[in-house]
């Protein structure tokens, strides 16, 4: 025998609607007072869905922990990766909507946000170790601690190598070292650089060489306007076709061969754009070194050398720079 409350009586259809829960006070009417926002609660996981986990706080009162509120750092694809049915968990009340009978909970709020304390552990210039978690066209994401990823942009992988895709230098799950170059707490962004682990090879070259210096280089590739010459590992200069030989040549391959080593005189140095102009025919001569920037495209010799050839770092290497 139980006691119930009559909710509705339909004489025509001979139906009586009864309610059992109406004999006790509705617990949702006082949830805002009993579960204030910011308070910590303990409950049992009663169900898991794709979007979150329902936590029973008391009989008849359940709160939802959305999947985005489960971890500050880990990318939770499904709640079952962190929680299981029947598990006792601690959570923080984020929002209470008594009218719609909803309570929003957060589990990650129980622990400090690691991004907010990031600057206490790291600073600009800090050397860190991490695991390559993901590769994209524009760079590599490196996990330096649980859930904290930093981005190594493709241009920050090497000072000298022309890397078009990070997979050319890095592999997924590879352990790497890097230097922190920027920290953005608000947007949760960490910029890393692998190339800054080593001195800038270009800067070192420009610091130790001057116009008129004679250097030894190896011809690495051709373009229709000249030959690219490797002076050091990753450091290239361009010898215009008019500077390859005393005799007139139409194509660079008429004067030199790929892999050929010989001496060149430095005719131009552009530190900012990392460009080096070379001459083979000027070696052993005391000809004055002219500033090629004063030449126009119609002049002879080194005329228009850097107007037709852009061999900045990161440029293509297929001779399509003209």
pLDDT of residue 287: 65
Give 14-54 as a DSSP string: TEEEEESGGGS--GGGGHHHHS-TT-EEEEEEEEE-SSEEE
Write out pLDDT tens, residues 11-65.
999 999 999 888 878 888 888 889 999 999 999 999 999 999 999 999 889 999 9
Q: Would you state the pLDDT for residue 289?
A: 59
Long-range interactions of 200-206: CB distance < 8 A, separation 24+ = 200/159, 201/159, 201/160, 201/232, 201/233, 201/234, 201/235, 202/159, 202/160, 202/235, 202/271, 202/274, 202/313, 203/271, 205/231, 205/232, 205/235, 205/276, 206/269, 206/271
Take residue 201 and report the two structure tokens written for it. 């090879």
State the 10-residue block means of pLDDT for the chain, 322 residues long.
91 92 83 91 93 92 92 82 91 92 92 84 90 92 87 87 87 92 88 84 84 90 89 86 88 89 90 87 73 36 40 40 34
> What pLDDT is stored for residue 250 in this prediction?
86
Distance CA 132, CA 172 (A): 5
Q: How many residues does the chain have?
A: 322
> What confidence score (pLDDT) does residue 304 get?
40
What are 247's two structure tokens? Answer: 């005799």
Across the chain, mean pLDDT equals 83
């Amino acid at each position: 025998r139980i006691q119930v409350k009559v909710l509705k009586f339909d004489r025509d259809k001979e139906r009586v609607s009864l309610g059992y829960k109406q004999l006790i006070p509705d617990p949702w009417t006082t949830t805002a007072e009993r579960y204030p926002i910011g308070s910590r609660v303990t409950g049992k996981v009663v169900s898991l869905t794709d979007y979150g986990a329902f936590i029973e706080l008391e009989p008849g009162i359940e709160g939802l922990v959305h999947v985005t509120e489960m971890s500050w750092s880990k990318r939770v694809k499904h709640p079952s990766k962190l929680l299981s049915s029947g598990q006792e968990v601690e959570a923080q009340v984020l929002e209470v909507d008594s009218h719609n009978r909803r309570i929003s909970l957060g589990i990650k709020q129980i622990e400090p946000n690691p991004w907010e304390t990031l600057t206490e552990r790291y600073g600009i210039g800090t050397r860190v170790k991490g695991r390559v978690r993901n590769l994209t066209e524009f760079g590599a994401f490196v996990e330096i601690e649980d859930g904290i990823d930093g981005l190594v942009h493709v241009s920050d992988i090497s000072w000298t190598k022309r890397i078009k895709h990070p997979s050319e230098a890095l592999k997924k799950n590879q352990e790497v070292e890097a230097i922190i170059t920027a920290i953005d707490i608000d947007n949760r962004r960490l910029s890393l650089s692998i190339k800054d682990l080593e001195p800038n090879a270009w800067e070192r070259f420009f610091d130790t060489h001057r116009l008129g210096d004679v250097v030894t280089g190896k011809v690495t590739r051709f373009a229709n306007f000249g030959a690219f010459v490797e002076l050091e590992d990753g450091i290239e200069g361009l010898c215009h076709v008019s500077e390859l030989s005393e005799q007139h040549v139409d194509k660079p391959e008429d004067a030199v061969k790929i892999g050929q080593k010989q001496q060149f005189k430095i005719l131009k140095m552009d530190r900012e754009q990392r460009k080096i102009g070379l001459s083979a025919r000027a070696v052993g001569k005391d000809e004055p070194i002219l500033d090629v920037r004063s030449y126009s495209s119609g002049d002879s010799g080194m005329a228009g050398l850097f107007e037709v050839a852009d061999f900045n770092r990161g440029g293509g290497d297929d001779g399509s720079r003209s």
